[in-house]
Structures are given as C-alpha cells and as structure tokens.
Amino acid sequence: MKPYPHTYTTQASGPATGSVTVTATGLPSIETNSPPDFDGPEGFWSPETLLTSAVANCFILTFRAIARANSFAWQQLDCEVDGVLERVDGVTRFSAFTTRATLTVGTSCDAEKAKKLLERAEKGCLIANSLLATRSLEATIVEATA
C-alpha cells in the first residue's frame, strides 16, 4: 500500500437539464441524474445511490482484507445497504446506514469467527467511517451447499 495521504480526483459535467457525466482518469464514465425521490428519471445512478453503493463496496473489500489477514476461508459475501436520507436539524443528510451481509462459507467454518470478522469489516470500512450517519450491521452466516 502507498503511504498516506491518498488523493482521489473525479470530474463531473452536466448541462442545465439532463444527465451529469461523472468521470475519473482511466475509468469508464457514469451517467447520473437526480433520483426519482427528487423528481429525477428512473434508470440512473444518483449521488445517493453512488454513496450507498460505496458503503456496500467498501464493506466487502474491507472484509476481504481482514479475512485474508486472518487466513479465513469463505466463498461469497452479499451485501445490501439501506441509506436513510432525511432532514436533521434543518439539513438534508444521510442519518443512518444499515448493512445486511450474508456470508457464504464452507461446512467446517467457525461461524463465531466469521461474525467477528464481519463486525471488524463494518467498523473498519473507511467510507462508512467518513460519514456522520449512525451504522448498524445485520450479519447472516450460511453454509454452502454442495
């Protein structure tokens, strides 16, 4: 890993109406728009869905690193994150994120260790740690079927 600080640069460009294009050097562009809750059209990523997906993505990547460091074998991690956006003290912001994680493991897995590693991943997610919202984790451990 490179030493801190790390800097991430993105660009956004958009006309008076319509989609906003989000770009970063070396990455595919993403067309975004306001979400339907803010009268935007269906079928576009929005800043709200991008932020919520960043929490889910970071959770999985953080778990990968923690599991690897602990020599913990696993097969699949599915993650769903609900971000609650509301007015708090006169400011519209995300007030809570709930992460629902389903970890699929082999039949000889230590379920208690798996749960602890998932909890460590939730606490270690740098994206979620950068947000003011409260956080909760609902973890399910599933044994793989043959």
Read off the pLDDT of residues 98-124 as tens digits, 9 standing for 90 and up.
999 999 999 888 999 999 999 999 999
Read off the pLDDT of residues 21-80 as tens digits, 9 standing for 90 and up.
999 999 999 999 999 999 999 999 999 999 999 999 999 999 999 999 999 999 999 999
Q: Global pTM?
A: 0.94
Per-residue confidence (pLDDT) for residue 108, from 0 to 100: 87
Mean pLDDT across the chain: 96
Interior angle at CA 28, CA 27 and CA 30, nearest 5: 120
- pLDDT-based confidence at residue 146 (cuts at 50, 70, 90): low
Per-residue confidence (pLDDT) for residue 87, from 0 to 100: 96
